């Protein structure tokens, strides 16, 4: 492997398997997939890690309710997650399960190290615990005495416990975040974390007495490991770490951990502290995207408003789903969706926008008999359309550099709108002296659009290139157009 080639290591959170995957999981994972594909296309060495978080009381209880063993529940839901990712064209390099033995073994080694260094010590822990979050809460986290996310009163837990000296690392972490050594983006999320860190950090319990479904603590095997501690370590074990801080995987440190705001704070406190304790470099960036609500409400099974990715795929297709989720809101800000809004956008941007443009231009190309029609690239470069393409690539790349995925899409759709106007302005359907070159320029623009779409909508990109019958070298493009089925059939108003 060529070590001079830039590497890009991206992770999603590992998802809880108490249920099947929902739209929120799909959003993060599609976004990570788009970023992974983009960096691969740039020629970088990419590692894209996703997976499942399988231990802990929450899974144990969910399994009990269903009359299954925890392992059985995990296996069943992992199958559903994997099937979903396959359908959605998710190009992950590894799918880690925290019940995989390679993960469990490395976790035990890491815990031994922290214990030997005195960073894990025995004590008694008393605190308010929310099972839904699998996290201890402070009074100030609660609204009317309840967890604001799960609307339940946390339980008071007091038990013999092993604690991690989180308090030792608060100041160092605060400095690193402040100086962007550990980048937290968007800026408002960085501010929130810094504000929280001002108060210092308290030691946390990393063992569970009552939870049986977990990794036994190597130095106290009658206790299991707190699920978050081991879950974080997936980011290392998932790229081959075996538990030795002196032997780090070539992909470490992660270039970006992607997640929503619900778990940003733990990622910006406990995770860096564990790494500092193990004397391992911190990840480069934590990027926090927004949270989806459905028609203004939190998506929840009890409200009956959950949108399952399978339903979206059924209605809008795989690429339709990928597009609609990523364009639904500004990446990094919260968003609200509804079936009505999604359908409207599908018809406007996909059926009418890209679908209509490709179909129109290919039809004209066919009428003109473009079976092997060449366009010299210098014929495009100085034209208004050529300039538009260059400007679009610039905006597109800038958007990617800043993780503004919706903006990258926006720049492509502006180019689509430009093409629509160009068709009207030049009346390219009419026979004229200029007609042939204008249609060739449009075909070329569509081929560039297909390239820009490759990370977002890989199937559509491929379908467009097939219809164009494009063969190109540095100097020219040759088109052999052939109309195929419509990219995004219009949905009726029902």
CB of 321 to ligand MSP, least distance (A): 14
Q: Does 226 bind ligand MSP (CB under 6 A)?
A: no
In the bound state, the residue with its beta carbon closest to ligand MSP is 24
- The answer to whether residues 163 and 123 touch, using CB atoms and an 8 Å cutoff, is yes
- The answer to whether residues 190 and 170 touch, using CB atoms and an 8 Å cutoff, is no
CB of 275 to ligand MSP, least distance (A): 13
Alpha helices in 339-434 (DSSP H): 339-345, 356-367, 378-381, 384-401, 405-426
Based on CB atoms, which residue is closest to ligand MSP, 317 or 335?
A: 335
Token pair in block for residue 64: 């009990």
How many C-beta atoms surround the C-beta of residue 124 within 10 A? 10
Is 150 catalytic? The answer is: yes
Q: Does 24 bind ligand MSP (CB under 6 A)?
A: yes
Residues in the chain: 494
Is 130 catalytic? The answer is: yes
Q: Does 231 bind ligand MSP (CB under 6 A)?
A: yes
SS (H, E, C) 70-125: HHHHHHHHHHHHHHHHHHCCCCCCEEEECCCHHHHHHHHHHHHHHHHCCCEEEEEE
From 222, 246, 301, 433, active-site residue: 301
Spell out a b/e string for 358-369, using b for 16 or more CB atoms within 10 Å of the CB, else e: bbbbbebbeebe
Among positions 8, 9, 10, 27, the unique one binding ligand MSP when judged by CB under 6 A: 27
Output DSSP code: residue 354: I
Based on CB atoms, which residue is closest to ligand MSP, 292 or 346?
A: 292
Among positions 111, 201, 259, 399, the unique one binding ligand MSP when judged by CB under 6 A: 259
How many C-beta atoms surround the C-beta of residue 433 within 10 A? 6
CB of 173 to ligand MSP, least distance (A): 17
Token pair in block for residue 22: 């929902």
Based on CB atoms, which residue is closest to ligand MSP, 211 or 441?
A: 211
From 74, 130, 419, 477, active-site residue: 130
The site map against ligand MSP for 53-72 (x = CB under 6 A) is x-------------------
CA atoms of 264 and 284, how far apart (whole Å): 14
Output the CA–CA distances (angstroms, integers) from residue 133 to 12, 156, 214, 237, 415, in the order listed: 18, 14, 16, 23, 44
Q: Does 268 bind ligand MSP (CB under 6 A)?
A: no
Count of positions on this chain that bind ligand MSP (CB under 6 A): 18
- Three-state DSSP at 51 gives strand
Is 147 catalytic? The answer is: yes
- The answer to whether residues 2 and 419 touch, using CB atoms and an 8 Å cutoff, is no
From 108, 115, 147, 441, active-site residue: 147
Site for ligand MSP, residues 201 to 220, rule: CB under 6 A: none
Part in contact with ligand MSP (CB under 6 A); list of ranges 32-40, 99-107, 200-208, 259-267: 259-267
Map tokens 């940003």 to a residue. Answer: 264
Based on CB atoms, which residue is closest to ligand MSP, 224 or 460?
A: 224
Site for ligand MSP, residues 289 to 318, rule: CB under 6 A: 291-292, 299
Q: Does 327 bind ligand MSP (CB under 6 A)?
A: no
Site for ligand MSP, residues 1 to 20, rule: CB under 6 A: 13-16
Is 298 catalytic? The answer is: yes
> Which pairing describes strands 220-225 and 135-137: parallel, antiparallel, or unpaired?
unpaired
Site for ligand MSP, residues 395 to 454, rule: CB under 6 A: none
Part in contact with ligand MSP (CB under 6 A); list of ranges 87-95, 256-264, 413-421, 436-444: 256-264
Torsion of CA 408, 263, 214, 152, to 10 degrees: -130
Helix axes 264-278, 170-178, angle to 10 degrees: 110
Q: Which residue ranges make up the site for ligand MSP (CB under 6 A)?
A: 13-16, 24-25, 27-28, 53, 231-232, 259-260, 262-263, 291-292, 299
* Residue positions annotated with a catalytic role: 22, 25, 130, 133, 147, 150, 298, 301
């Amino acid at each position: 492997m060529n070590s001079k080639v830039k590497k890009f290591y991206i992770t999603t959170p590992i998802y809880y398997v108490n249920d099947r995957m929902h739209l929120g999981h799909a959003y993060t994972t599609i976004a990570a997939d788009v970023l992974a594909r983009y960096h691969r296309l740039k020629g970088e060495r990419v590692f894209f890690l996703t997976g499942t978080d399988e231990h802990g009381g929450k899974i144990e209880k969910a399994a009990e309710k269903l009359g299954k063993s925890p392992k059985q529940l995990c296996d069943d839901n992992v199958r559903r997650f994997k099937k979903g990712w396959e359908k959605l064209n998710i190009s992950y390099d590894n799918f880690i399960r925290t019940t995989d033995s390679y993960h469990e073994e490395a976790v035990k080694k890491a815990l031994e190290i922290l214990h030997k260094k005195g960073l894990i010590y025995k004590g008694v822990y008393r605190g308010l615990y929310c099972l839904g979050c699998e996290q201890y809460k402070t009074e100030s986290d609660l609204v009317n005495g309840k967890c604001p996310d799960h609307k339940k009163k946390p339980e008071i837990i007091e038990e013999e416990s092993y604690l991690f000296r989180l308090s030792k690392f608060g100041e160092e972490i605060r400095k690193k975040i402040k100086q962007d050594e550990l980048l937290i983006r968007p800026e408002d999320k960085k501010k929130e974390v810094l504000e929280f860190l001002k108060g210092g950090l308290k030691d946390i319990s990393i063992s569970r007495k009552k939870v049986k479904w977990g990794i036994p603590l190597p130095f106290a095997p009658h206790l299991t490991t707190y699920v978050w501690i081991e879950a974080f370590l997936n980011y290392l074990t998932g790229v081959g770490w075996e538990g030795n801080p002196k032997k780090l995987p070539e992909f470490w440190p992660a270039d970006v951990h992607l997640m929503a705001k619900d778990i940003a704070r733990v990622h910006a406190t406990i995770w860096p502290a564990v790494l500092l304790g193990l004397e391992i470099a911190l990840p480069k960036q934590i990027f926090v995207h927004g949270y989806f609500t459905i028609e203004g409400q939190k998506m929840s099974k009890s409200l009956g408003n959950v949108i399952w990715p399978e339903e979206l795929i059924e209605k809008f297709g795989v690429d339709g789903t990928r597009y609609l989720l990523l364009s639904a809101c500004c990446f990094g800000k919260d968003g609200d969706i509804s079936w009505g809004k999604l359908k409207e956008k599908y018809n406007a941007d996909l059926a009418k926008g890209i679908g209509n443009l490709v179909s129109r231009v290919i039809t004209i190309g066919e009428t003109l008999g473009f079976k092997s029609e060449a366009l010299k690239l210098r014929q495009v470069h100085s034209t208004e359309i050529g300039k538009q393409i260059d400007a679009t690539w610039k905006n597109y790349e800038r958007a990617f550099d800043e993780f503004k995925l919706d903006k990258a899409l926006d720049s492509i759709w502006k180019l689509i709108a430009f093409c629509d106007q160009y068709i009207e302005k030049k009346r390219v359907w009419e026979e004229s002296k200029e007609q042939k070159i204008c249609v060739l320029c449009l075909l070329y623009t569509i081929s560039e659009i297909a390239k820009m779409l490759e990370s977002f909508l890989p199937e559509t990109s491929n379908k467009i290139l097939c219809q164009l019958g494009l063969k190109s070298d540095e100097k020219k493009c040759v088109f052999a157009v052939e109309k195929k089925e419509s990219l995004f059939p219009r949905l009726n108003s029902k």
